[in-house]
Structure 1
Amino acid sequence: MNKQTLQEFEAMRRHFGWDKSDTLEFLVSCVKEEAEELFNSLNEDEEALKKELADVMMYCYAICIDNNYDMDLLIQEKIKEVMKREY
């Protein structure tokens, strides 16, 4: 996520108090719910898909921010792990 988007995202969470109220359990449950909505959006138009995809990603970013995880590093490490697999 670029710096400006990250700042806007964090400002939005602060504005609504979500940075204080969201728990890891709540955020993970939201990812699950939004992933289901993302799946269901396959039966809708592309705009619905993009909105649901954004929801999933924002909850994932919130988990990373709240736990001081570097999203890029997590993805890079996962790429390395997957590249070692044989398909």
Structure 2
Amino acid sequence: MGAIVDKNQMVRCEYKDSICWVPNHIFARVVLETKIPEKFVRYKTGADLYDMSERQFRDLAKEADAIYKKNRMVLVDLRKIDDYLEYFHVT
């Protein structure tokens, strides 16, 4: 007998003709551990990638000196964010 699953805690994944449901925490781990092809992102995308609020991500980007501005467009260099975060790695 299968367990009762709350679909609000699951992500729907489609591949070819099949559909499966993956727990949010597993999906997030796979996404975050996947190599990110983009070098620059906007605040909202970066906040989603690092699972934090836009305000926290903006502060982190400022601390990491990873913000680039052109007119009204702001981009954040993810490589600088990752390099900055390595300073806080606990072993």
TM range (shorter): under 0.3
Q: Relative contact order, CA 8 A, sep 6+: which one is greater?
A: 1
| Higher fraction of helix | 1
| Higher fraction of strand | 2
TM-score for both structures, normalised by structure 2: 0.23
Larger Cα-atom Rg: 2
